[in-house]
């Protein structure tokens, strides 16, 4: 027996077996990696799928994709081929929602704004008011502030519990005036701090408009900004979460106000037409007179600028045609990406990246992620509550952009819109023939959700997603008294259970 030959054969077999096992393991790992990355084998070869995630209010809704019922309910996730798919969400007792969703290979597509409304809603009176001077919901959708006509009380209502929880504040304390004067004039809340316990209140009387930083928990700490800082302001915005710093515009000049030290800064910029802010960074539009060389006549440029609190000066991020006024300006942060959006004439621009610092980046840290020439001139610009949706509106036309997905939508609204109203973070609403009508930010899923609603008063969905609030059309009552006929107006705040 040739032992050396047998040993050689055995070693070859061991090597071959180990090699086969190694190759098999590598192949299995490779296949698993390909599957994990969403690749599948099709007639056209290897194709990468994408992940769809759908959330809804209320949850537990059924999901159809391309007409096929899916196993599982919202919250829902599934790998889908890289293509456009028809997604439909429904639940017993509620209306349905549908949309064509484009899936990109290797990417996550999240749809978190699906909202279903009850077919037979339970609607009740939440509160009753006389004719209202002020009725506004906070931007975090947790509070309602109201002032009745000829009243000297501001009522702050927590709208999330099963019953409204009201706190009553003396309007005269908030306005730093006497009770008689506080009963007259137009009131409007123009900005809120992060917790919505402080706000900027504009009070317009026959002879002037005054601006107030009101404390909705301790009215006595409220400040009349005009009196405190000796300026007639035309715009004021809150610059930090505690509302201890403000941005303010007066006589075309931009200032920063420090409430803690009771100080107002020197002029930051002049000939300012418009401001917006993202906390401690303010964006603004201003005119600048440029002196040219060689005895050429001076020219005027219109600029978009940003200024960071505490820096020496501002930075110009865009120079525009002086004849094209900027119709709207907004800014925010989404997933650590800072952005600024504006429209002028029939053009819109969205810049994203990092706001520049004076003397360092010269405005180059913001890059254009969307530049469009439109068929209409936007007159309104707004952003959704999550900070990733930007909407431009002009007349019956609307375009919207999702910073997260980099997708752009163009919509014919069918009616003229004079104000952009958000009913939650993703849904827009308008009053059409005394009905509250909502649509997704991209214009889809337009639905009527409430009837007999006052077109002059707001509507909102509470932050906990439990309630829809809107004001009913005012009811006029005439009573016969010894002094003659007395007319009274009653307004009901309606509340609808959503889930």
Closest by alpha carbon to 88, among 49, 54, 50, 51? 54
Q: Binning pLDDT at 50, 70 and 90, where does residue 107 land?
A: confident
Indicate if the pLDDT at residue 45 is higher than 70.
no
From 289-298, 409-418, 469-478, the region with the lowest mean pLDDT? 289-298
Closest by alpha carbon to 447, among 430, 426, 464, 467? 430
| Backbone phi and psi for residue 269, each to the nearest 5 degrees, phi listed first | -155, 155
CATH of the domain at 363: 2.130.10.10
Q: What percent of the chain has pLDDT over 70?
A: 90
CA distance 107 to 184: 56
More confident position, 14 or 101 = 101
CA distance 238 to 224: 15
Whether 359 and 284 share a structural domain? yes
Q: Binning pLDDT at 50, 70 and 90, where does residue 7 land?
A: low
Q: Binning pLDDT at 50, 70 and 90, where does residue 32 land?
A: low
Q: In the numeric block, which tokens belong to residue 279? A: 């906390």
pLDDT value of position 46: 56
Q: In the numeric block, which tokens belong to residue 228? A: 């405190």
Indicate if the pLDDT at residue 315 is higher than 90.
yes
* Collapsed DSSP state (helix, strand, coil) of residue 100: strand
More confident position, 295 or 425 = 425
Tens of pLDDT, residues 320-344: 987 888 999 999 999 999 999 999 9
In this structure, what DSSP letter does residue 226 have?
H
The owner of tokens 């959700």 is: 449
Long-range CB pairs of 410-419 (<8 Å, 24+ gap) are 411/442, 411/443, 412/443, 413/443, 417/380, 417/393, 418/380, 419/380
Indicate if the pLDDT at residue 282 is higher than 90.
yes
Whether 208 and 82 share a structural domain? no
Whether 327 and 366 share a structural domain? yes
Taking residue 278's Cβ as centre, other Cβ atoms within 10 Å add up to 18
pLDDT value of position 17: 74
Whether 10 and 153 share a structural domain? no
Whether 110 and 226 share a structural domain? no
pLDDT value of position 270: 96
Q: Binning pLDDT at 50, 70 and 90, where does residue 210 land?
A: very high
Indicate if the pLDDT at residue 401 is higher than 60.
yes
From 3-12, 220-229, 310-319, 414-423, the region with the lowest mean pLDDT? 3-12
Any domain includes 346: yes
What stretch of H or E contains 14?
helix 3-36
Indicate if the pLDDT at residue 37 is higher than 90.
no
Indicate if the pLDDT at residue 34 is higher than 60.
no
Q: Binning pLDDT at 50, 70 and 90, where does residue 14 land?
A: low
Whether 221 and 168 share a structural domain? yes
Whether 392 and 249 share a structural domain? yes
More confident position, 274 or 6 = 274
Whether 22 and 150 share a structural domain? no
CA distance 436 to 453: 6
Closest by alpha carbon to 67, among 94, 98, 38? 98
Q: In the numeric block, which tokens belong to residue 27? A: 């192949």
Q: In the structure, how many helices (H) and strands (E) does the chain have?
A: 4, 41
Domain end, chosen from 64, 84, 115, is at 115
Indicate if the pLDDT at residue 484 is higher than 90.
no
Q: In the numeric block, which tokens belong to residue 37? A: 């990355």
Domain end, chosen from 64, 96, 115, is at 115
Any domain includes 188: yes
Any domain includes 468: yes
Q: Binning pLDDT at 50, 70 and 90, where does residue 359 land?
A: confident
Q: Binning pLDDT at 50, 70 and 90, where does residue 27 land?
A: low
pLDDT value of position 33: 61
The strand pairing partners of 462, in sequence order, are none
Cβ within 8 Å of residue 21, ≥6 positions away: none
Whether 361 and 488 share a structural domain? yes
Tens of pLDDT, residues 409-437: 999 999 999 999 999 999 999 999 999 99
- Are the C-beta atoms of residues 314 and 285 closer than 8 Å to each other? no
Any domain includes 41: no
Average predicted confidence (pLDDT) for the chain = 91
Q: Which residues of 323-351 are buried (b: 16+ CB within 10 A; e: fewer)?
A: eeebbbbbbbbbeeebbbbbbbbebbbbb
pLDDT value of position 478: 76
In this structure, what DSSP letter does residue 61 have?
-
The whole-number average pLDDT for the span 125-148 is: 96
- Are the C-beta atoms of residues 419 and 380 closer than 8 Å to each other? yes
Q: Binning pLDDT at 50, 70 and 90, where does residue 490 land?
A: very high
Any domain includes 233: yes
Please, is 304 exposed, middle or buried when counting C-beta atoms within 10 Å of its C-beta (0-12, 13-18, 19+)?
A: buried
Taking residue 102's Cβ as centre, other Cβ atoms within 10 Å add up to 12
Q: Binning pLDDT at 50, 70 and 90, where does residue 12 land?
A: low
Report how many domains make up the chain. Answer: 3
Whether 100 and 179 share a structural domain? no
The whole-number average pLDDT for the span 96-110 is: 91
Domain end, chosen from 115, 143, 172, is at 115
Cβ within 8 Å of residue 32, ≥6 positions away: none
Any domain includes 217: yes
Whether 103 and 145 share a structural domain? no
Any domain includes 171: yes
CATH of the domain at 62: 2.60.40.1120
pLDDT value of position 35: 55
Indicate if the pLDDT at residue 361 is higher than 70.
no
The whole-number average pLDDT for the span 168-182 is: 94
pLDDT value of position 288: 87
Indicate if the pLDDT at residue 194 is higher than 80.
yes
The owner of tokens 């969703």 is: 101
- Alpha-carbon distances, residue 201 vs 209, 223, 487 (angstroms): 10, 10, 30
The whole-number average pLDDT for the span 145-159 is: 95
Whether 333 and 259 share a structural domain? yes
Closest by alpha carbon to 135, among 373, 369, 470? 470
Any domain includes 408: yes
- Are the C-beta atoms of residues 209 and 182 closer than 8 Å to each other? no
The whole-number average pLDDT for the span 485-491 is: 83
In this structure, what DSSP letter does residue 221 have?
G
| Interior angle at CA 326, CA 213 and CA 376, nearest 5 | 125
| Backbone phi and psi for residue 439, each to the nearest 5 degrees, phi listed first | -150, 155
Which residue range is the domain that position 229 belongs to?
123-497
pLDDT value of position 326: 93
Closest by alpha carbon to 322, among 341, 299, 291? 299
Indicate if the pLDDT at residue 47 is higher than 80.
no
Q: In the numeric block, which tokens belong to residue 231? A: 């300026």
First-last CA distance in the chain: 85
| Backbone phi and psi for residue 18, each to the nearest 5 degrees, phi listed first | -60, -40
């Amino acid at each position: 027996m040739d032992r050396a030959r047998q040993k050689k054969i055995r070693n070859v077999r061991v090597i071959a077996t180990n090699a086969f096992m190694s190759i098999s393991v590598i192949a299995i790992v490779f296949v698993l990696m390909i599957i994990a990355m969403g690749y599948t084998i099709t007639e056209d070869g290897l194709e990468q799928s994408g992940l769809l995630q759908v959330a809804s209010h209320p949850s537990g809704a059924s999901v159809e994709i391309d007409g096929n019922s899916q196993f599982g309910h919202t919250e829902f996730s599934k790998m889908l081929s890289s293509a456009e798919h028809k997604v439909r969400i429904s639940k017993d007792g509620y209306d349905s929602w549908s949309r064509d969703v484009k899936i990109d290979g290797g990417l996550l597509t999240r749809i978190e704004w699906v909202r279903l409304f009850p077919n037979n809603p339970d609607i009740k009176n939440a509160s009753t008011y006389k004719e209202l001077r002020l009725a506004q919901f906070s931007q975090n959708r947790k509070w309602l502030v109201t002032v009745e006509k000829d009243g000297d009380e501001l009522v702050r209502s927590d709208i999330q519990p099963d019953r409204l929880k009201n706190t009553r504040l003396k309007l005269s304390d908030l306005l730093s005036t006497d009770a008689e004067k506080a009963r007259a004039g137009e009131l409007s809340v123009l900005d809120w701090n992060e917790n919505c316990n402080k706000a900027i209140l504009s009070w317009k009387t026959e002879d002037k408009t005054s601006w107030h930083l009101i404390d909705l928990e301790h009215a006595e700490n409220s400040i009349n900004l005009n009196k405190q800082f000796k300026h007639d302001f035309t715009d004021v915005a809150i610059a930090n979460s505690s509302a201890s710093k403000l941005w303010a515009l007066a006589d075309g000049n931009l200032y920063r106000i420090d409430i803690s030290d009771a100080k107002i800064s020197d002029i930051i910029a002049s000939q300012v037409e418009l401001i917006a802010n993202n906390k401690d960074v303010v964006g603004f539009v201003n005119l600048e007179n440029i002196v040219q060389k060689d005895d050429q006549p001076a020219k005027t440029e219109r600029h978009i600028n940003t200024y960071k609190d505490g820096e020496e000066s501002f930075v110009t991020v865009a120079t525009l045609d002086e004849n094209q006024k900027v119709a709207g300006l907004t800014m925010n942060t989404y997933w650590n990406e800072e952005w600024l959006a504006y429209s002028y004439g029939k053009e819109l621009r969205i810049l994203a990246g990092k706001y520049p610092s004076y003397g360092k980046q010269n405005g180059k840290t913001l890059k254009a992620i969307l530049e469009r020439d439109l068929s209409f001139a936007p007159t309104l610009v707004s952003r959704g509550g999550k900070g990733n949706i930007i909407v431009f509106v002009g007349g019956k036309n609307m375009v919207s952009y999702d910073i997260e997905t980099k997708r752009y939508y163009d919509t014919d609204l069918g009616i003229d819109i004079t104000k952009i109203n958000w009913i939650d973070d993703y849904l827009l609403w308008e009053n059409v023939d005394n009905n509250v009508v909502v649509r997704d930010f991209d214009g889809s899923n337009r639905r009527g959700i409430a009837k007999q609603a006052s077109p002059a008063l707001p509507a909102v969905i509470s932050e906990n997603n439990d309630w829809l609030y809107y004001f009913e059309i005012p009811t006029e009552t005439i009573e016969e008294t010894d002094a003659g006929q007395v007319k009274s107006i009653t307004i009901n705040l309606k509340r609808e259970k959503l889930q």
